[in-house]
Amino acid sequence: NAGVTQTPKFQVLKTGQSMTLQCAQDMNHEYMSWYRQDPGMGLRLIHYSVGAGITDQGEVPNGYNVSRSTTEDFPLRLLSAAPSQTSVYFCASSYSAASTDTQYFGPGTRLTVL
């Protein structure tokens, strides 16, 4: 299994540009989520999904869109990039949202918005 994969690893955008961060998992996990990690702060939840066709907002959803058309993929879209969205983005998955399920994280995408 490849686990959780994310592309690209690095990206530089200009203010106002849009882009999609890709996330895929091959473990047949129902639960997937996106976090951002900023210096001096803990990881913060952006959006999550409990299964195909179901998404919900986390702590910091503004400026981001998600969709879940398949179990495997959970892309994160930046609609109009802003410098405040400069961060490292992590995708995570688990078998379900149950308390027993370990979350597995991807390697991250480092995004810089100029």
Partner 1 sequence: KQEVTQIPAALSVPEGENLVLNCSFTDSAIYNLQWFRQDPGKGLTSLLLIQSSQREQTSGRLNASLDKSSGRSTLYIAASQPGDSATYLCAVKVYSGGGADGLTFGKGTHLIIQP
Q: Which residues bind partner 1 (CB under 8 A)?
A: 4, 31, 33, 35, 40-45, 48, 50, 56, 58, 90, 92, 97, 99-100, 102-108
Cβ proximity to partner 1, 63 vs 107, nearer residue: 107
Least distance to partner 1, CB of residue 49, Å: 10
d(CA 40, CA 26): 32
Least distance to partner 1, CB of residue 30, Å: 10
Cβ proximity to partner 1, 17 vs 50, nearer residue: 50
Least distance to partner 1, CB of residue 101, Å: 8
d(CA 55, CA 23): 15
Least distance to partner 1, CB of residue 15, Å: 25
Q: What are phi and psi of 83, to 5 degrees?
A: -55, -30
d(CA 15, CA 44): 22
d(CA 86, CA 66): 18
